[in-house]
Amino acid sequence: MEETDAQIVRLLSVDGRMSFTDLGRATGLSTSAVHQRVKRLEARGVITGYQARLDNEAVGLSLTAFISIRPIDPSQPDDSPERLRHLDAIESCYSVAGEESYVLKVRVGTTSALETLLAEIRAAANVSTRTTIVLSTPYENRPIGG
From first to last of its 146 residues, the chain has per-residue pLDDT tens of: 899 999 999 999 988 999 999 999 999 999 999 999 999 999 999 999 988 888 899 999 999 999 999 999 988 889 999 999 999 999 999 999 999 999 999 999 999 999 999 999 999 999 999 999 999 999 988 888 75
Residues 39 and 71 in one domain: no
Its pTM stands at 0.81
- 117: helix, coil or strand? helix
Pair 107, 89: CB distance under 8 Å: yes
Residues 66 and 36 in one domain: no
The string of DSSP codes covering 85-96 is TT-TTEEEEEE-
- Structurally, the chain folds into a number of domains equal to 2
Which domain does 26 fall in, by range? 3-44
Pair 20, 34: CB distance under 8 Å: yes
- 103: CATH: 3.30.70.920
